[in-house]
Amino acid sequence: MPKLTVTPAEDHLTILVEESRLDAAISTRFKDRIREIVMTSRTAVILDMTNIEFMDSSGLGAVIAVHKAMPGGRVLELAGLTPNVERVFRLTRMDTVFKIHPSAQNVQEKRA
């Protein structure tokens, strides 16, 4: 099971991914667990990817699947992409699909 820390706030839910890799080895379990969490939330979801140093196409696919499964007008935003992970989003042009924040702290400051 992927290590995740969920922190609710008034207008969003932050999910900190406490894994260094988001790859084929954990992508399916990651996607399923995030979907479970998202379904119980009534707010925007911020996926804090600060700890992820490596992400392959399976990991990217899992994030996209969660994005597509977001219920009723709720959004999935990303925060804290490391340079390697940011490169994956940029090369696949997924940086144009997701709202990406420099850090989860940055999101909280903007929403305050």
pLDDT of residue 26: 97
Assess whether pLDDT exceeds 70 at residue 111.
no
pLDDT digits (tens, 9 = 90+) for 52-105: 999 999 999 999 999 999 988 889 999 999 999 999 999 999 999 999 999 988
10 falls in which pLDDT band (50, 70, 90)?
Answer: confident
| DSSP bridge partners of 58 | none
- Strand bridging mode 4-8 / 12-17: antiparallel
Q: Which domain holds residue 37?
A: 4-111
Give the CATH number of the domain where residue 24 resides. Answer: 3.30.750.24
Domain count, the chain: 1
pLDDT of residue 43: 86
Q: Rounded CA gap, 100 and 88, in Å?
A: 13
What's this model's pTM, rounded to 2 decimal places?
A: 0.92
